[in-house]
């Protein structure tokens, strides 16, 4: 509907108009029609550019139904100008395609127009071509049109033949109807490439593309290094996906023939606004717009966990996060290097314990519910049955495994792996079956051999039980109290080191080997007899960490396997000594860099953001993905250790607590933790939950951004903590003032602003207002709109140089760490 407004001067001069001559009146009507036509034209948004038209900065094209808009924009805090396409019907500008992503314009002089050869070109103020299409065919009347699919097409105005389309040149986004893949005939490849940052749409480090070698599969690459593999298409979805799609709004299609290899998804429910992107942090995400929250909701994000890291366990092994360790050699295989394997370095993989005979006596062991191995060097036949596939592999001496290529209709097709298998992940409930070839000796042998094995196993079990009984009896006589506290716990799951061995490794706990000291005791560097470096925490006799906390740390860390959690190598309980042996972290703890003016310049913003993301992933694992729901209760900068590459690992689980079943909250009369990081509900009422850790994470995030301690923060104008200071600045619209001046770089300001916003969301007063860590990881790795935070916890001014706590308080040597006995 177009509203036409007749100028007011017409009615005011009504009488005079009637007295005009016929000629004058005709001329007036002609001018009036011209004015009205102009008004109608400018009120209707156009979706095309013809050969005689242009699009200038400030003007836009809008698709016929208003789904998409094309025009000039500046990303984030940048002032550079780009031509892009974005969703029109949502309030958050989400750009899905950029024409001149690697060639910005630095002012508003850009013009998009056709040249004489039917090429659509972007020209700057000096007449230089900044970007252009590459259609080779010239037509007299080209038309550029923005379609409702988000596709910009150039077609012949005479017969509508498509000469060029933006869908053939994706950026970081795959919209519904957009193909990814390769044209086998021409070799033309369509793939996604991340933005460099949220302020810079130029080509980043991450690409997502289908590799045509062997049986095709998509890969996420960082430069030339494989980061993640989606697995081959199995007729329903990609093999590496943890869950099969149940989404009724979309339809998925994979095409593989002698003409093309492509993947595309189409909308069934056209009202859904969705997108699939590769973000600047190396995550593949499918997002849907949520009208209720007015923000983007992430339907899935990959990679998900450490087992998604390509080849993390090496060849002939599988990765399973519920196992300890997460990497397990397949049956009939042993670690290629026992030393590396036991140290948690699994990249060398596994080798056969006995060679194959290359005969029909060889057999296969079935591995159910797995992500199929890398298929780049596989052989396949889409018409074979599974039995035919088995026979084919059995008669091929180089074949080491087989599987169905298609899971629909009971399974069909054949995949054979030649020489080795790599990147196998256990996916509970939704993986595929893999059959790995082993010699007959690994299948059990003859009946007599099985009998001797059974007898031997029985005798071994009896002897083991006898030894255990003798040990328990001796233990009871020697120290009944220790037995009482340890009888039901699992320290024996870890290697038990003799005290003399650890003493010698640490040069008898010499000061030169001392790495630091926390509330529970000193930590020393040690070198074991095999040359492995370790960190040894020696529990102080007067430490507030008693036997319960010691056992707690042993039990929890022994069962946790994640790249962002420190690994426990063993323990020692001998006489009055209690020792924990960890993997050695050469860069020590985060606080050594964050709060030390001599070292803080080593932490630029990209590294700080990586540390924030790593801590978030570690907490997400504790809260959601580990076998127990674990609350750390003492998350702080000194408990974040850094490996050689400055990757963060959460440490010190002495205060951790777990929940079973549907439990999500606990209460204690003994509040333990560190001032400045403890949430209000925990400090005051002893209530703790995963949201207590979220509060601590929010404080820690603000410390990482600012380079300042929360509790020790000073400002000449007020007595607030860092958290209170950040909240005041945020309300005033100048949150970036809290950023460490050493990293206040304009190219990252939007990321810093977003991180501060997320930190304040995490540190809100009430637990129910704080986001979960799963939502935090999504918010950190996307550009979706964030909700407004409410007032943070402990938003009160301090009137003393240091906080004091009344009541029965026991403090350790670490003045920040406290134990409070909370009255009820």
Residue 698 is part of a domain; what is its CATH number? 1.10.510.10
46 pLDDT more than 60? yes
Same domain, 104 and 232: no
Q: Which residue has the higher pLDDT, 738 or 489?
A: 738
What's residue 728's pLDDT?
93
Same domain, 577 and 643: no
476 pLDDT more than 80? no
List b or e across 542-572, with b for residues whose CB sees 16 or more CB atoms inside 10 angstroms: ebbbeeebbbbbbbbbbbbbbbbbbbbbbbb
Same domain, 611 and 578: no
- What is the pairing mode between strands 111-114 and 120-123? antiparallel
What average pLDDT score do residues 346-362 get?
A: 88
What H or E segment, with its residue span, contains residue 38? helix 22-43
Same domain, 300 and 180: yes
What's residue 447's pLDDT?
38
Question: Is 657 domain-assigned?
Answer: yes
Same domain, 641 and 722: yes
Q: Tell me the per-residue pLDDT of 492-524, one tens digit each, with 9 for 90 and over.
A: 457 888 999 999 999 999 999 998 876 667 899
DSSP string, 625-658: ISSSEEE-S---GGGEEE-TT--EEE---TT-EE
What's residue 86's pLDDT?
98
Question: Is 512 domain-assigned?
Answer: yes
| Proportion of the chain above pLDDT 90, given as a percent | 50
Question: Is 227 domain-assigned?
Answer: yes
62 pLDDT more than 60? yes
Q: Kindly give the residue spans of alpha helices, DSSP state H, lying in 559-601.
A: 591-594
Domain that holds residue 535: 491-583
Q: Which residue has the higher pLDDT, 360 or 514?
A: 514
Q: Tell me the per-residue pLDDT of 539-560, one tens digit each, with 9 for 90 and over.
A: 876 554 556 667 766 776 677 7
Are 319 and 561 in contact, with CB atoms under 8 Å apart?
A: no
Question: Is 3 domain-assigned?
Answer: no
User: Strand, coil or helix: what is 71?
Assistant: strand
User: Strand, coil or helix: what is 710?
Assistant: coil
Q: Tell me the per-residue pLDDT of 739-778, one tens digit each, with 9 for 90 and over.
A: 998 888 767 888 999 999 999 999 999 999 999 998 998 8
785 pLDDT more than 90? no
| Proportion of the chain above pLDDT 70, given as a percent | 79
Are 585 and 646 in contact, with CB atoms under 8 Å apart?
A: no
What's residue 144's pLDDT?
95
DSSP string, 663-676: --EEE-SEEEEETT
Residue 247 is part of a domain; what is its CATH number? 2.90.10
Are 524 and 464 in contact, with CB atoms under 8 Å apart?
A: no
Query: Given pLDDT bands bounded at 50, 70 and 90, which one contains residue 1?
Result: very low
Q: Tell me the per-residue pLDDT of 82-111, one tens digit each, with 9 for 90 and over.
A: 999 999 999 999 999 999 999 999 999 999
Residue after which a domain boundary falls, among 166, 181, 198:
166
What's residue 481's pLDDT?
45
Same domain, 156 and 236: no
Same domain, 683 and 605: yes
Residue 160 is part of a domain; what is its CATH number? 2.90.10.10
What average pLDDT score do residues 155-160 get?
A: 86
Residue after which a domain boundary falls, among 276, 304, 332:
304
174 pLDDT more than 50? yes
791 pLDDT more than 50? yes
Question: Is 24 domain-assigned?
Answer: yes
Same domain, 373 and 282: no
Nearest to 754 by CA among 278, 199, 205: 199
Question: Is 520 domain-assigned?
Answer: yes
Q: What is the rounded CA–CA span in Å between residue 490 and residue 184?
A: 57
Q: Tell me the per-residue pLDDT of 388-417, one tens digit each, with 9 for 90 and over.
A: 999 999 999 899 999 999 988 788 999 999
- Active-site residue set: 634
Residue 535 is part of a domain; what is its CATH number? 3.30.200.20
Same domain, 598 and 617: yes
148 pLDDT more than 80? yes
User: Strand, coil or helix: what is 515?
Assistant: strand
Cis peptide upstream of residue 303 (ω within 30 degrees of 0): yes
Same domain, 469 and 526: no
Q: What is the rounded CA–CA span in Å between residue 291 and residue 639?
A: 40
72 pLDDT more than 90? yes
Instruction: Measure the CA angle with vertex 51, ends 49 and 52; round to 5°.
Output: 90
Question: Is 716 domain-assigned?
Answer: yes
435 pLDDT more than 60? yes
Same domain, 609 and 563: no
Phi and psi at 149, nearest 5°, equal -80, -10
Q: Which residue has the higher pLDDT, 619 or 325?
A: 619
Question: Is 483 domain-assigned?
Answer: no
324 pLDDT more than 70? yes
Same domain, 53 and 34: no
- pTM score: 0.55
Residue after which a domain boundary falls, among 534, 564, 583:
583
Query: Given pLDDT bands bounded at 50, 70 and 90, which one contains residue 296?
Result: confident
Query: Given pLDDT bands bounded at 50, 70 and 90, which one contains residue 787?
Result: very high
Q: What is the rounded CA–CA span in Å between residue 760 and residue 748?
A: 19
Number of domains in the chain: 7
816 pLDDT more than 70? no
């Amino acid at each position: 509907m177009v509203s036409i407004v007749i100028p007011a001067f017409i009615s005011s001069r009504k009488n005079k108009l009637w007295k005009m001559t016929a000629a004058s009146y005709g001329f007036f009507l002609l001018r009036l029609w011209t004015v009205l036509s102009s008004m109608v034209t400018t009120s209707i948004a156009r979706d095309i550019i013809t050969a005689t038209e242009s699009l200038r900065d400030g003007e836009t094209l809008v698709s016929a139904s208003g789904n998409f808009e094309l025009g000039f924009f500046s990303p984030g805090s940048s002032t550079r100008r780009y031509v892009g396409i974005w969703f029109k019907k949502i309030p958050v500008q989400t750009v899905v395609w950029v024409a001149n992503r690697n060639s910005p314009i630095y002012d508003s002089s850009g013009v998009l127009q056709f040249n004489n050869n039917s090429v659509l070109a972007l020209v700057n103020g000096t007449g230089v071509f900044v970007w252009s299409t590459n259609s080779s065919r010239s037509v007299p009347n080209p038309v550029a049109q923005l379609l409702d699919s988000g596709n910009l097409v150039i077609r012949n105005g005479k017969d509508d033949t498509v000469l060029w389309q933006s869908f053939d040149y994706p950026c970081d986004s795959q919209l519904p109807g957009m193909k990814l893949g390769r044209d086998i005939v021409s070799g033309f490849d369509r793939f996604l490439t991340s933005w460099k940052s949220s302020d810079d749409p130029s080509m980043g480090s991450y690409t997502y593309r289908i590799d045509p070698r062997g049986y095709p599969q998509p890969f996420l690459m960082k430069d030339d290094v494989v980061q993640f593999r989606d697995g081959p298409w199995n007729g329903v979805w990609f093999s590496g996906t943890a869950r099969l799609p149940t989404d009724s709004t979309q339809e998925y299609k994979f095409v593989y023939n002698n003409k093309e290899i492509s993947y595309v998804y189409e909308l069934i429910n056209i009202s859904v606004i969705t997108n699939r992107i590769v973000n600047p942090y190396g995550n593949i995400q499918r997002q849907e717009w949520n009208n209720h929250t007015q923000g983007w909701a992430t339907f899935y994000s990959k990679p998900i966990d450490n087992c998604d890291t390509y080849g993390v366990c090496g060849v002939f092994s599988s990765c399973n996060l519920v196992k300890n360790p997460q990497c397990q050699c397949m049956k009939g295989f042993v670690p290629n290097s026992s030393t590396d394997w036991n140290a948690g370095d699994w990249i060398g993989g596994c080798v056969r314990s006995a060679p194959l005979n290359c005969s029909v006596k060889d057999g296969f062991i079935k591995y159910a519910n797995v992500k199929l191995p890398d298929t780049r060097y596989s052989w396949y036949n889409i018409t074979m049955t599974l039995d035919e596939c088995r026979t084919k592999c059995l008669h091929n001496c180089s074949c080491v495994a087989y599987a169905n290529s298609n899971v629909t209709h009971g399974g069909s097709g054949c995949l054979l792996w030649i020489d080795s298998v790599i990147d196998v992940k256990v996916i509970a409930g939704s993986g595929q079956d893999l059959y790995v070839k082993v010699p007959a000796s690994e299948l059990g042998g003859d009946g007599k051999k099985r009998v001797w094995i059974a007898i031997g196993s029985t005798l071994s079990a009896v002897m083991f039980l006898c030894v255990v009984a003798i040990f328990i009896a001796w233990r009871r006589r020697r120290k009944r109290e220790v037995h009482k506290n340890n009888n039901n716990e699992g320290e024996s799951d870890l290697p038990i080191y003799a005290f003399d061995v650890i003493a010698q490794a640490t040069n008898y706990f010499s000061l030169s080997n001392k790495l630091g000291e926390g509330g529970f005791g000193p930590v020393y560097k040690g070198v074991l007899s095999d040359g492995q470096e370790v960190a040894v925490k020696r529990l102080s006799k007067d430490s507030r960490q008693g036997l319960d906390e010691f056992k707690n740390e042993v039990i929890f860390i022994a069962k946790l396997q994640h790249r962002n959690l420190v690994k426990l190598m063993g323990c020692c309980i001998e006489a009055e000594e209690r020792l924990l042996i960890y993997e050695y972290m050469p860069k020590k703890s985060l606080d050594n860099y964050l709060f030390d003016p001599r070292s803080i310049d080593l932490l630029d913003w990209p590294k700080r953001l990586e540390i924030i993301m790593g801590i978030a992933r570690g907490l997400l694992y504790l809260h959601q993905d580990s076998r127990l729901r674990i609350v750390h209760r003492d998350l702080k900068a000194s408990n974040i250790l850094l490996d050689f590459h400055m990757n963060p690992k959460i440490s010190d689980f002495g205060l951790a607590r777990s929940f079973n079943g549907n439990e999500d909250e606990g209460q204690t009369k003994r509040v333990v933790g560190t001032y400045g990081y403890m949430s209000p509900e925990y400090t005051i009422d002893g209530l703790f939950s995963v949201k207590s850790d979220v509060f601590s994470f929010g404080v820690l995030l603000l410390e990482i951004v600012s380079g300042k301690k929360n509790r020790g923060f000073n400002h000449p104008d007020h007595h607030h903590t860092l958290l209170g200071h950040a909240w005041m600045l945020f309300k005033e619209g100048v949150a970036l003032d809290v950023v460490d001046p050493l990293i206040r770089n304009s190219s990252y300001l939007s990321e810093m602003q977003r991180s501060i916003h997320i930190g304040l969301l995490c540190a809100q007063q009430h637990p129910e207002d704080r986001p979960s860590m799963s939502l935090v990881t999504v918010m950190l790795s996307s550009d979706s709109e964030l909700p407004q935070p409410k007032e943070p916890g402990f938003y009160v001014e301090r009137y003393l140089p240091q906080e004091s706590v009344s009541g029965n308080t026991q403090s350790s040597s670490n003045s920040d760490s406290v134990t409070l006995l909370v009255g009820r």
